[in-house]
Structure 1
Amino acid sequence: MGKSERKNGWKEWTKAILIAILIAFVLRSFVFVTSVVDGESMEPTLENGETVLFNKLTYLFNEPERGDIVIINRPQKNYVKRVIALPGETVAVKNQTLYIDGEPYDQSFITDNELNNTGQFGPIQIPENSYFVMGDNRKLSKDSRNGLGFISEENITGKSEFIIFPFNEWSMIK
């Protein structure tokens, strides 16, 4: 192998590495973002310390839906919560039952014990372009009931897709 062949080989490898870095940068900046779950507010769905991959493109083409687990961008901190009520809907909790527009809503993603920790509130009308969110661990969650308030659409950064760390818990999020 001559000097020019080795030089071309290095050029090709360098070009491939730079292209890979550029693709990774574009994906990280515009398509996917990772977030480490901080605290117990989404247990048992997401546990403290897990790294979650969020899809940033989803909400460029679609609106958040009830049940989506989203990342909420706030100046001091990002939050991971579940969308409960959509713009224009009315939400209330009475006797451990969540009502959306007066109809009971099945929350199969939380335990009966967590239903008891939801408390009583409402009815509350959700403003246009805003969402009502709650953590799955209702007792420990700071959410739309007690501090976060309504979440504007522009503060929702992405939809959770996968748990990527720890590796033995790698899975899609439901």
Structure 2
Amino acid sequence: MLKDATKLISALGCIFLLLIISFYFSKLSTVKIASNSMAPNLLEGDIVLTYQTAPELGDILLIEDISGKPFAKRLVALNGDKICYSGNQFTRKNNYKELMGKYIDSHGNVYEMYQELSGEQYYNTIYTPIFDPTEHCISVPENNYFFLGDNRTRSVDSRIRDFPRLSEGEAYPKLVFIIYANDFSRIFQIIR
């Protein structure tokens, strides 16, 4: 009798453990980066692990455009934030930015590389400065977020597209780390 009870408890424990593991891993997936709009942090062809979580300022999320095609962009402003942009320059209240030097991509294009801060996350951005005397300032509408690519010169993002409609408190795929890259030194690099 005791032997049967032990087997039952072991079986129930295994089932419980399998349920927990399957729940945890159902939040994980992978995505292949389709363009260099997130360079220098993510490059075309990178395969990245994602994890379903509530978004935070500075996270790179996998979101869908109007046609349903997924793309990776950085969350740089939340609903109610006042933001301004002119050409490739982006500012938000208390937005830290420091010139780090030059960045040359695989095609020989030269960009200025900056370190920026969103929320509590530092990350690198690149762009070719474009003079645009027109400054666009907006307040991010309620229940909306503002997304930018880290390659400000080559990114189609919230500056051009409609704001993706995301609900606060919902979980979205956050890009966590690179699991494959053409440059093997970048494999298992944590995404910031």
The one-character-per-residue Cα deviations of 1:2-34 (angstroms, maximum 9, x if unpaired) are xxxxxxxxxxxxxx9xx97x87764453x1121
**Does 2:138 align with 1:124?**
yes
Distance 1:96 1:143 in 2: 12
TM-score of the superposed pair, with normalisation by structure 2:
0.64
**What amino acid does structure 1 have at the position aligned with 2:153?**
K
Out of 35, 42, 47, the position equivalent to 1:51 is: 47
Distance 1:157 1:90 in 2: 23
Residues matched between the structures, number: 146
Distance 2:47 2:135 in 1: 32
Q: Is the 8 A contact 2:88 2:153 kept in 1?
A: no
* Structure 1: gaps (5+ residues): 1-15
Residue aligning to 1:139 = 153
Q: Is the 8 A contact 1:69 1:82 kept in 2?
A: yes
**Does 2:186 align with 1:173?**
no
The one-character-per-residue Cα deviations of 1:63-115 (angstroms, maximum 9, x if unpaired) are x22211111034430010011111101110248643214x444251113xx16
Out of 63, 68, 83, the position equivalent to 2:59 is: 68
Larger % of strand: which?
A: 2
SS at match of 2:129: helix
Distance 1:117 1:84 in 2: 20
**Does 2:97 align with 1:93?**
no
Runs of 4+ in 1 over 3 A off after TM superposition: 22-29, 94-97, 117-121
**What amino acid does structure 2 have at the position aligned with 1:159?**
K
Residue aligning to 1:7 = none
SS at match of 2:145: strand
Residue aligning to 1:161 = 176
Out of 31, 34, 37, the position equivalent to 1:38 is: 34
Distance 1:117 1:163 in 2: 31
TM-score of the superposed pair, with normalisation by structure 1:
0.70
Distance 1:77 1:95 in 2: 26
Classify 1:95/1:34 alpha carbon distance in 2 versus 1 (closer, same or farther; 3 Å).
Answer: closer
Distance 1:118 1:160 in 2: 32
